[in-house]
Structures are given as C-alpha cells and as structure tokens.
Amino acid sequence: MNYWAVTPMAKPRMTRSDKWKQRECVLRYRAYKDQLRLRQIQVPEGGVRITFVLPMPASWSKKKRAEMMLQPHQQTPDVDNLHKGLLDALFVDDCKVWDHWITKIWGESGAIQIETFEEINERELQRQRKAA
C-alpha cells in the first residue's frame, strides 16, 4: 500500500484562455499536478484501488469529526474529477487505464492511498487467518 500526504484536488473546468490567464483554480491545479510528479507517484494501469482522503472542515466540532472519520465523502468534488486530476498529472496518455476502483472518504488531513488488488487480497487472507 502506498500512502501520500497530498490533499486531493479535482480537475477544474478549463478553457483555451487558461493557457495565458492566471485563474486561481487553474494555478492551484497546476501546483497539485507538480506536487504529484515531484513525489514520483506511480499508478498501475489496472488492478488498483485508489482512495482519496479529503480533509474535514476546520469549522466542524470534535464530535462531528469523530463521527465522520473515514466515512464516505458524499459531497463535491466528484470522484471522477478527483480521478481525472490524478491521471492527468501522472499519465501522458491515460486511455491505457483499464481498471481502477475509486473511493473518497473523510480524514483529518488530505491524502491519496493506492493499493493493488493483490495487496488487498493478501491483507484479507491474513485477517481471516488471525480470526481462525
């Protein structure tokens, strides 16, 4: 399992003028892509589960934070836009990607977790052996 402490960001809607305009959302997205590339994150083309951990708002109470920790994130940004932002940063031609299982959850801080299906199956087998 690979875990990177990078706050996930969805790909913004972009226009041709974004090549020379300095819109804040596009600048943040470009910085996010640079950060992913600098960390040399590798994502296989298939057989992988990607979990986006999105940070909880600072305005939430400690009680609500405890309740929502690792719960499904069911607000914007959409999971497909988070995935698109990740793939655009790491692949020149992302049409080769054929099997990704995408999840987004709440957490204390932002992160991206990448696991292959083999790692998931091995962890499940170990859990079953301990239970037996």
Which strands form 2-4's sheet, in the order they lie side by side? 2-4, 111-116, 48-55, 100-107
Neighbours of 68 (CB within 10 A): 16
Report phi then psi at 121, rounded to 5. -65, -40
> What is the tens place of the pLDDT at every residue in 11-58?
888 888 877 788 888 888 889 999 999 998 888 888 899 999 999 999
Map out the domains of the chain with their CATH numbers: 2-131 (3.30.1330)
> What is the tens place of the pLDDT at every residue in 74-122?
999 999 999 999 998 898 888 888 889 999 999 999 999 999 888 888 8
Which pLDDT score is estimated for 103?
Answer: 95
Which pLDDT score is estimated for 106?
Answer: 96
Q: What is the pTM of this model?
A: 0.83
Which pLDDT score is estimated for 64?
Answer: 95
From CA 63, how far away is CA 15, in angstroms rounded? 42
Q: Which residue has the higher pLDDT, 47 or 67?
A: 67
Give yes or no for residue 1 having a pLDDT over 80: no
Which pLDDT score is estimated for 83?
Answer: 93
Those residues with Cβ within 8 angstroms of residue 101's Cβ, 6 or more apart along the chain or in another chain: 48, 49, 50
From CA 114, how far away is CA 1, in angstroms rounded? 6
